[in-house]
Each structure stands twice: as structure tokens, then as C-alpha cells.
Structure 1
Amino acid sequence: MHISRVQLVNFRNFERANAVFNTGVNTIIGENGSGKSNLFRAIRLLLDADQLRWAFRLDETDFHRGLKNWRGHWIIISLEFSEVSHDEAIQALFLHGTGVIEDGAVGRATYNLIFRPSAAVRARLGALEEGDQAGLTELLKGLTTDDYETLLTGKSTADFTDPDVYKELVGDFNEVRFPVELNPPTIGGPVPRALSITKEICFTFVQALRDVVSEFQGQRTNPLLTLLRSKSGEIDPVTLEPITEKVKDLNAAIEGLPDVSEIRSDIRQTIRDAAGETYSPASLSVRSAVPAEAERLFQSLRLFVGETEDDYEGAIHELSLGGANLIYLTLKLLEFKYQKAKQACANFLLIEEPEAHIHTHIQKTLFDRLTYSDTQVIYSTHSTHISEVSNIENVNILVRNGALCEVYQPATGLEAGEIRSIQRYLDAVRSNLLFAKSVILVEGDAEEILVPALVKEVLGISLDELGISLINIRSTGFENVAMLFHDDRIRKRCAIVTDLDACFFNTNPNPADSETVAKQKRKALGSAAAGVERQTRLNTFKAGNTWLSTHYAQCTFELEFIRSGNAEVAVDAIGAIYVDPPTIQQATEDLRSTDPARFGKRILTMAGNHGKGWFAIQLAKRVTFKSHIPHYILEAIFTAHRPLSRAILANMIDYRLKTHGDPALLPSDVAAEVLAHAVQFSHGEIDRAALLAVLAPALPGDVIIEVLGFV
């Protein structure tokens, strides 16, 4: 049996979310604040015996923060189980509690937590006349969570994340239309108190490791103590008796030492002399802290670990952060194995961000090996190394969109071959596209190296700050990756950047051409034809998909780099390519030429001498704020990153003003006025036209004018 679906409605930062899980190992990824911990908390409220009591103590802070007014709304957490065991006892549990009967047996079961207004409040809502906003406002005004009830149900058939279904069950607050039926059958029936799912399953939660040392010090949180307690209950008291007697003898021998006895007497007498008999302690002993009772004896045990090979074993607080975290995680996994041995009807292991301070190789090995039979494992992680080895079919991506968080499944609707293709492609570098707010796909090393450098130097902001992952697909077809971005899968913007490879020199055949020249012309014509075919194919591929956009270099990236006004950057790099003065002179003239046939051939020759990647590194070293970003690259960036934050734009304007550097061209008072308008724009006090009116005369032709066009 495994969790196949989790539906969340109005729970914390989820308005409505649908997480899908499979057997085996599942991964939840997402940026900070995207709701990973809240999703785990929702599951634990229903399945973790330590958390079940909190299910009946929800309050207004548990309601979705995007609700204008939480009063009257419901919180719904719904778990769906699949492949329910045919064991008679298990069938009986779900048959009478939460199971959905199919062909005489329970194969699927639902288990729901519903936090809703009391029956009396729901009856008053149902009695309102349709459209009576004043009556609704008055009724909701005095509601508190004391007017709410918590209901655990099973056998539900409703799709709680469907807005229309929610209106049928809860009501339409805009139209003031509420159901008269107080307990609609689609939400399922109450689960009898005598039937406790938490007692029938093995459930272990390993929380994110913030402070491992404090966890080991706590009586309730110490994983070693938990293991010892579970084992001590199995040890025969007769076996423990000789040990406890030895401890008593040891303590008595220590107390009987003359020095210890004398110090004890001196302490007692000094207290009496200082505070008097009335205020002195009734008793005082100096003895060993080793307890004689079995339970307390186990509590006194501590774990000592040697990280190096020098035979020294240190306490937990002496270990490295990674070492301590690994030990803590190991003990929690052992705790799970002990529980699993009890033969529960289902086994669930939830692990929150296991990568903290742990080496990347250990992360990947850990994920690869944590596969227990008959156990569903669910991770949450920020690690690209863990996501690299995750099965894409078992991944849920949590995305934050303002106060709203959504859940995406990247493999939904894909064929098996398509899934295998994506799985092979997503290594540790490229799997970061799953974490980004938006993605740009490029096809070469030059773009991968130069574009981030250009953006940072020219605009004063990094692609990371924009939340953009720039991914080099290399020999992988764009479609094999871009198919992830779709209404059914990952609803993030993805910009495809590629070359049309149009001819930039005369390719007309000439009988006087040498074989070398003729071959170059044929190759150029072939590349141009392939570019047109690629454009047609990609435009057809993205048609109707609002999450994809395509952006084309007319020729190649290197040539467009020069054509955009970066000839001097390339001229500065000539010394890294050529040493012969005549060649250097000729190359300089070619790059400064306005003829694409000259500067195009030269830049491609320079790039080909040592490889495009190496040459891009040389150019990236020489890029400055005076460099230029090709228009199609800017278009790709600000199509992927949309909408452009006003605050980010104001920071770019500030950067461009500071780097302009020539008071004769940009007097300080003019710069101050532009910056003041940028601040006003960032606060929403003026519109784009008003900002452009002062910006354009101050920085005529500047890249920031072009960027403003994307707002």
C-alpha cells in the first residue's frame, strides 16, 4: 500500500494543490518557501501518531494566506492510498473506515482531514438568501476557530481541488450561494474512533537537520535514546539486575572515599553556617552521576564516533556538521527499520532535506541505497545531486507564485521513450532547470559562458538573481528538454535560443572557385537550410504552448556578438589567439570591418582555433559595462523572466547611471533626477511612459531603454 495522491485545499501556502506519488522513492523539490515542509506537515497530521493531536488544533494561521477572509472556508487535506493489501485485517480496516470498494475488495482508499465551520454555522450559511452579501458579512464577522470542527473521513469521492466541487461542498462566497446539505456524501463518512490508521502503519519522519547537537541532547528528540528505549523493553529484567547492582556498588564505593565524604560534610556545614538550619537543604550527596535504574542508565549513554583513523572517538558535538548529520540520519533510519520489523500494513519514510552539510557523493549514494522493500520513501530536497538520480516520474515540483504555491509533475502525459530521454539528460548540472523560476535553453558552450557574463557586466544583475537557469543542451535536441514546460507538466517559462545559420557571405557558385571555397559555400548553404528547417520545426513544436518561446540568431552567436557592437572586445582578445604581427593587424581590420563576410569569417576562425568554449572564456574576461547584449538574447531573457520586477529594473537603471562615468555627458543632477524617477517607478507611483520621458534623454540609445521595452 502506498500514498498515491495528496490533495490540499486552503492549507497554509496552498490554495489548491495536487501532489502525485508512486511506489518506491519519491522526490519533492522546490525553492525556499515553496511549501515542502507544509506538504510534509499535512501528511503527518493524518499519519504520524505524534502529530495527530495537532490535527484537532488547527487555527487561523493554517488557512491559505491568499484568502481575503478565511472565515467560513474549509481546510481540506486528503490522502489517497493505492494497492491496498488484500490481507483480511487490512481489508477490514479500510472496508469499514476509508476504503473505496471495487469488485468486492478495497483497492483504493481515501483518508481526509476536514477543518470546517460547525454544523450550526453551516446551517446559518445555508439559510442565507442568494446574493445577500450584507447577511454573509454579518454572519462571518464574529466567527473564530472555536466555531470550527475537525472531521476525519474516509470513502470520499470528491475531487477537492476542483473549484466547482469546492463551491458545491462549501459554497460560493461571491454569489452568496451555500448548500443546505450539511454532510454531503461525496466528502466521505466519519472514520470510527476505534479504527486508527496510525496504529496499523509504520511511519517515520526525519526532519531537516538544523542543529543536530541539540537534537541529541533532548530527551524526546534524541534518536539514540529512542532506539535504546525500544530495545530496553525487550531485555529481561533478570539480565539487567547484575548490571544495576554493579552500578550501585560503584556509586557506594565512590561516596565512601574519605575525600568525597569529607568534602560533602564541609559543604553541608558551610551552607548551615551561611544560611542557617531552616534554609539549608534537607539532604546533600556527592556521588557518581551514573544512575542505577535501567531506564536512567540507558538515558545516560552517549554515542562516540571516530571520523578519522587516529583511533580518537569524539562526542557528537566534536564531529563535523556533515558527520553529525550523517550519524543522526543513520539512527533515524535504524529507528525506521525497527518499526518496519513489526510487520505493519504499510511503511512510510519521510525525509526532509537530507543533504544538509553532506558531501555530494554521499548524497547520491544515500538516495540510491535508501530503497527498502514494501516502503514508500518521500524526500524533499534542494540538492541537484539528489534530483539528478531521482526518477523523473516520481518527482513533484513545488513552485512559489507570490502567496500561492503550486505542485507540478514533470512526467505527466509523456510517453515512456520521452521519459527515458529526459532521464538520461538530467545530470547534476542540467537538473537545476527543475529548480529555476524560468529557463533559457542554448545549444553551445559560447552562449553558456558569455551570456551570463554579458548580463552581469552590462545590466549589473546575474541570471541567478533573475531566477533564470541557462542550460546548454549541447547535442540533445531542444524538444527533448522543452517538452517539460507545458500546462500539464511544469508551468514555467522556457526560452529556446538557437542559430538560423544564415549565409553571411556570397555563396553563389563560381567556376573560378577553388575546391576549398566551393566546399565552404556548400557547407554554408547546407547550414542555412538546416537553420530554416530547425526554425520551422521549433515553431511548430511550440505552437499553442504559452510556456515556450523561440529566439533566433540570424547567423551564429559569435557573429551576432560582433554585429551587436562588441568588435573591440574581440580585438582585445586577438593577442590570446595570434602572435604574428601581420596576422594580428589583419584580424584587427577584419573585426572592425562593417562587412559581415570579413568580421564573420574572422570571428569564427578565431573561435575555431582553440575551441568555441575556450574562446568564449577569453571574451568573457574582457566584457565590460560598455559591451552590448544581442537583441535576440535580451528578448529571450525578458520573455523567460516575466513580468520584469519594477524593483529589479530600478536597480539596473541605478547601475547604468553609476557606470556611465562621464559627468560631461550625464551631469549629476540629471542622474539624480533619473534615479528618483526609477525609485518612484519601483514603488508604482509613476508609469513606464513617465519614466521613459526622463530616461531616454539622459541615456540615449542605452541598453536600459531596450530593457524597458519588455516591461
Structure 2
Amino acid sequence: MYISKLVIKNYRTFNDFKIVLKPLTLIIGENNIGKSNLLDSIGLIFGQDVSYHKRRVLEVSDFNYKEILRFKRQVLDFNIPAGDIIYPEILIECTLIGWDEDQESVVGDWYSNVNFTEATLTYRFATGSKFNREEDVQHQRNFITKFIKEHTQELYDKLLESAKLDLINFPISKYFYTIYGGGDSSSTANIYHLNQMKFELLDALRDACTELVASHNSRLLFRILNSKEEEKYQDLKGQLVGLQQAINDNATLQEIKNGISVQLDKISLATDETSNLVDLIFSLPDVSDLLKKISLIYGDNPIKIERNGTGRNNLLFISLVLSYVEDITRGHSSYFRVVGLEEPESHLHPNLQDHLAHNIESLIKVDGKKDFRKDIQLLITSHSTHITTKIDFENTVVLYRDGDKIESHYVLDGFSEKALGKKQIKYLNKYLDAVNANIFYSRKIILVEGISEKLLVPIFFERNMGHSTEKSSCCVINVNGLAFSYFLEIIKNGFFQKCLVLTDRDTDTKTKERADNLAAKYDDVDQIQVSITADSTFEKDLINANAKGKGRDILLAVLKDVRPNAGKSYISALGENPIDTAGFFALIEDYKSEFAYSLMLNLADSDPLTDGFVIPDYITKGLNFFS
């Protein structure tokens, strides 16, 4: 069984959001896009720990901010009848499919389709049935009227909108949560059945060092050790039976005991009939007390957890939780468990990230088979391109912003199942490495043909936009040739981020129509702009744009650096004339990357306001696509 669809309304960053989930799902995207909020929303239904029971009673800050603004603006608008004002509600709906016979006994009351193949659980946070909404609106408006009367209309009109909105109270104390099944809000989910489902969250700010010592009931190691039946540890108590005699025979302990008796004799009343003799007794601890004395050590030269590096402890922590999740023999096993793993890459070097991601699928699969286990669903969030490229793209979904909304898109959604689609997927699986996977963490994408553009376009971008590509959340991807369409299909199929293609015209070659055909193919996709050189190649457009003036001086200086002897001869023969594009290009044709690198260093050290270097027109027009 697993959650196949999640609907989130008005919860934190999500206004009206839907996402398809799989038994193993990698959720990626830029910071503050809502990955953690997504996992927390699932915890509102499936979380059984005390902390989650408390979290189910939400705060004002848990509501989508724009929804709160909408509500307050409606209250301030006296033209809207009080009865027409909509109070915000938070709704989290999980659709479950693929259960086995045992799990069906739990979800049987929550069927939500006529074929009995889907079940839904819904968390709703809304005002109580006895709350009089119209009365509350009228009370708020009476307060505003009184405020204006006391402070004058003129002062009220001068207030910023934010100050006016602050005058409106959001009645959070009148809100209550319910969890119901089957889509019927009157059918409250049976607590016993709900408790058969669990949610484990390894959050990004986890304190691995603390959780790996079983010193408290809430510590992870203790919870794992204590999940077994007590009888399994009975032999530990047997080892302690002889400890009382050892205490009686210890001379130092006897000396301490006698000293206490002497002092007690001195301060006790003479008429006190109570004996002043004291003794030391060892109380045989409960199993849980014994378990709290256990901590983990790790490595060939084991040391205390506190002395381990954070990376090692993080890896140990993840292993500990996953071993707990995998263990179906524990005393308090559940029918279904969702595991949320946030940023498994924390404190791990790239090689360890690769290794962890490469093997993570096997943790929730049936031994020796490709099928996923039915009792576990694993949801991973990550910012690591190493993690991203090692988990199957079939299971990778990107969260991104489309205007004011957050949307989701699986990387391989929309690709044809025919030969061309399979070829495109094969290429992407091979070429989306730890560098190029950066497109899924960016809001703007620039695709270029080769290393020369990869080096120079970020410089041109900064000169054109006034800030770096990183500040604009823009990535520059070198497709190493002409494989633009493989990447553009991702954009076209639903990952609606703006994408600029900078490509050569390739005049007088067999592929001279390629660029125009590419532009025509994606002309109807608003998120894609194909910009083509005026001349045959990027370098020639660069030379043409700077054949005269100060730009000419920069190109000649770079030529002299890249081709010391040939460049010196060319410059001498050129004199004061404009640069001859064909002759100059002939000198750098076999040295394009060296030329681009030298030019990049030159431009990085010069002032764009005074150096006179001209960016080729097709690049300038292309960058304006992002404006």
C-alpha cells in the first residue's frame, strides 16, 4: 500500500496543490518551495507521536499567507455581505492504493471509489459547527467603525494596508481539526485503525548525536531497542542478580555506609526508637532502565558517538531508522509506515552521497525482487545533485513555482513510450549528471552548445542583468553538441520554467537548417526561446560585434595570450584596421576553449561600463527573454 495522491489546500506555502506519489519518491526543488511542508502535511494524518498530536492543532502561521490576506481584505470590505465571506480552511487529503489483505482490514471503512480500489484519509482544520461566522464578521467591522470614530477617517485612510489588516483578528481559537475517511466529513476515522499507520520523519535539522544514545524515552535508539518484547531482554537482568552480594563485600561501600550511620547517630533524638543503621541495596532495574544505558559505537576503532564526525553520525542515524522501519518483527509493528527522509546528504561527502542514493531503493524492496514492499513508503527530499542523479528519474518529482502557485512535475512525464521517447530518456539518464541536474533547482535555464558559451555566457548575463546567474537562480547548461531537444522536452512536458537556447546557425554545413527547425518546433511553447547566431558560429558573432573600438583591443589582447606567435604576426599585419573575422577565427578555431577562458578572465577583471566590449546581439535579445 502507498499514498498515490496528495492534495494540500491552504497549508503554509501551498494554496491549492496536488501531487502524485510513488512507493519511492524523490522530491526536489529550490529552497523554500515547500518540500518540508509537504512531509509535515502527511504527518498531520499519519503521525502518531505525541509531537504530531500537538501539531494537529495548528497556528495562524500554518495557514497560507495569501489566504489569510484574502480573508482579512474581505472583512475590511464592508460592501461584501458578512454571509458571503469565506473563512479559510486547511485540507490535507491522502489517497491510498495497492493494499494487501491485512491492510484492507484497516482501510475498509475509507473506500472512496465505486471499485473499492482507493481509500482516502482527510485532515480538515476549520471553524467549529457552533461558530457564528456572520456574527464574528460583524463584530470585527464594529471594531473598525469604532476605531475610525475614535481616530478619524483621515488617519485611518493614511494607514498602510498592512496596518489595516493587522486590526482584523483571525479567530484561530475557534478552529478544530478532524480526520475522516472516504471523503465523508461526517465519518471520523477510527482511532484504532488510524493508529495502525505511522509516519517517521528524519528532519533536516536532526540531532544525530543525541538520538544515538538511548538515555531517554523519546530518543530514537531507545525507541528502537524498546520496540522488541521485554522477554527478549530477560537474560540481561539475570546477569545482575549477584551484584547485591558484591556491594555487601566491597570495603569502600561498607566504609561509606558506616560513616553515614555514625553521623545519623549524632543528630538523631535519643528517644527515637528507629534504628540508625543504614544499608546499601541494589534495586534490580527494569528492562527499560537497562536499555537507557546503551549507546552506539561505530568503526574499527570504536569511540563514543560524541567524538564521531557529524557525517559518520548522520549516516549511522539514517541506517538506524531504516533498520527500524524494515523490521517487521518488532513488538509494535504497524500495517503501513510512511518514512520522510529530509536531505540525506547532510554532512556526507559526494562519494558517500552517491553510494547512499545508489542503494537506497533496495532498503524498501522485497528481498531479491524488483517489487516494493507494501508496508513502507519512502519519501525523500534533497538539494543534492548527487542524490538526484542516482535515484531513478521515474521516481523524481520537481516542485517549482508557476506564477503564484507551486506545481509538481515528474522529470520523465510526457515522454513518448515509442523509440524516440526511449532514446530521449536514455540520453537524459546518462547526461543529467551532478552538474546538469542543477536545472531542477533553478528558475531560469540557459542551454548552450559548448564549453566556450558555458564559460562566457555567465559573464554576459551579469553584464546584461546587473547581477550574477546565481542571484537570478539561473543555470547555464552545456549540452555538448546539439542535444537541445532532450532537455526542451522536459520544459514542454510540464516543467514550466523559462528556458533560453543559444545556438549556432551553422551556415554552409549539412545542419544549416537545424537551428531554424528547432526554433519552429518550440515556437508555441511560451517558456522556451531559441536565439540563433547571425553568423555561422558563436565565436564569429563575438568577433563581428567587437571588430572595432575598445572591444577590438580586448580580442587582440586575448589572441596574443592564446596564440603568442601567430597572434603577434596577425596583430602586426592588421595595423589599425578592423578585425578580419575569417582570419581571426582561423587562428582560434582549434583553440576555442582556451580563447573563451582567456576572454572570460579578461572581462572579469575589467569594468563593463568603460571597457567597450559588445555582447553579440542574439545573446542580448535572448537574455531579454528573462526580463
Q: Distance in 1 between matches of 2:416 and 2:401?
A: 28
**Native 8 Å contact 2:46 2:198 kept in 1:** no
Residue 287 of structure 2 is matched in structure 1 by 294
Aligned to 2:340: 350
Alignment partner, residue 95 of structure 1: 108
Q: After TM superposition, list the pairs within 5 Å mapping 1:214-225 onto structure 2.
A: 214-216=210-212, 219-225=216-222
TM-score (norm 1): 0.69
Assess if the C-alpha contact under 8 Å between 1:255 and 1:287 holds in 2: no
- Are the structure 2 counterparts of residues 303 and 553 from structure 1 closer, same or farther at C-alpha, using a change threshold of 3 Å? same
What is the SS of the residue equivalent to 1:107?
coil
Determine the C-alpha separation between the residues in 2 that align with 1:121 and 1:69: 20
* 2:359 counterpart residue number: 369
Q: Tell me if 1:621 matches 2:601.
A: yes
User: In the superposition, relative to structure 1, how do residues 70 and 369 fare at CA in structure 2: closer, same or farther (>3 Å)?
Assistant: farther
1:26 deviation in Å?
0.9
Letter in 2 for 1:632: Y
**Deviation string, structure 1 residues 646-668 (Cα, Å, up to 9, x no partner):** xxxxxxxxxxxxxxxxxxxxxxx
Mapped pair 1:479 → 2:485: yes
- After TM superposition, list the pairs within 5 Å mapping 1:259-408 onto structure 2: 292-306=285-299, 312-339=301-328, 344-371=334-361, 372-373=364-365, 374=373, 375-400=376-401, 405-408=406-409
- Superimposed CA distance per residue, residues 579-604 of structure 1 (whole angstroms, 9 cap, x where no aligned partner): 43x75222565597536xx2244234
The residue aligned with 1:574 is 559
Q: Deviations over 1:399-430 (max 9, x none)?
A: 35797544333333332324444333311111
Q: Is the 8 A contact 1:495 1:548 kept in 2?
A: yes
1:256 to 252, 260, 267: 252
CA spacing shift, 1:476–1:325, aligned 2, 3 Å:
farther
Question: What is the alpha-carbon distance in structure 2 between the residues aligned to residue 408 and residue 122 of structure 1?
Answer: 41
What residue in structure 2 maps to residue 38 of structure 1? 37
What is the aligned partner in structure 1 of residue 584 from structure 2?
602
Matches within 5 A, 1:479-518: 479-486=485-492, 489-502=494-507
The answer for the alignment partner of 1:110 in structure 2 is 120
Q: Distance in 2 between matches of 1:631 and 1:230?
A: 68
Q: Which of 93, 96, 121 is equivalent to 1:81?
A: 96
Q: Distance in 1 between matches of 2:360 and 2:186?
A: 37
Aligned to 1:559: 540
Residues 9-28 of structure 1 deviation map (CA, whole Å, 9 limit, x = unaligned): 000111111121123x2111
Q: CA deviation at 1:56?
A: 4.0
On the 8 A contact 1:440/1:636 being kept in 2, the answer is no
Matched, 1:444 2:450: yes
1:526 to 500, 506, 509: 509
- Tell me the SS of whatever aligns to 2:381: strand
Which residue of 2 is the match for residue 511 of structure 1? none
Q: 1:146 aligns to what?
A: 173
Identify if the C-alpha distance between structure 1 residues 53 and 255 changes in structure 2 by more than 3 Å, giving closer, same or farther: farther
1:81 partner letter = L
Shift in CA distance, 227/483, structure 1 to aligned 2, threshold 3 Å: same
State the TM-score, normalized to the length of structure 2.
Answer: 0.78
Residues in 1 aligned to 2:107 and 2:456: alpha-carbon distance in whole angstroms: 59
Q: 1-side partners of 2:92 and 2:236: how far apart?
A: 46
* Higher RCO (Cα < 8 Å, 6 or more apart): 2
One-letter code aligned to 1:489: G
Distance 2:526 2:198 in 1: 44
- Structure-1 separation of matches of 2:329 and 2:483: 45
How far off is 1:495 after superposition?
0.6
Deviations 1:280-331, CA, capped at 9 Å, x for gaps:
xx9999999x98443222211222223xxxx532211211111111111111
Could you tell me how far apart the structure 2 residues matched to 1:551 and 1:615 are? Answer: 22
Q: What residue number does 1:507 align with?
A: none
The alignment partner of 1:314 has SS state of coil
1:197 and 2:194 matched: yes
CA RMSD of aligned residues (A): 3.7
Decide whether the 8 Å contact of 1:244 with 1:294 is kept in 2.
Answer: no
The one-letter code sitting in structure 2 at the alignment partner of 1:153 is Y
Residue 394 of structure 1: CA displacement? 2.0
SS in 2 for 1:463: coil
Q: Which amino acid aligns with 1:146?
A: S
1:2 is the counterpart of 2:14: no
The C-alpha deviation readout for 1:55-113, integer Å capped at 9, x for no partner, is: 6412222110112145711101011112233x1x53343332x112444xx21111111
Matching of residue 584 in structure 1 with residue 583 in structure 2: no
Task: Classify 1:249/1:39 alpha carbon distance in 2 versus 1 (closer, same or farther; 3 Å).
Answer: farther
Report if the CA contact (8 A) 1:78-1:113 is conserved: yes
Aligned partners of 1:47, 1:354: CA distance in 2, in Å? 21
Q: Residues 351 and 263 of structure 1: is their aligned pair in 2 closer, same or farther, counting only changes over 3 Å?
A: farther
Partner secondary structure for residue 54 of structure 1: helix
Structure 1 stretches lacking a partner, 5+ long: 157-186, 273-281, 503-524, 643-711
Query: CA distance change for structure 1 residues 141 and 569 in 2, over 3 Å: closer, same or farther?
Result: closer
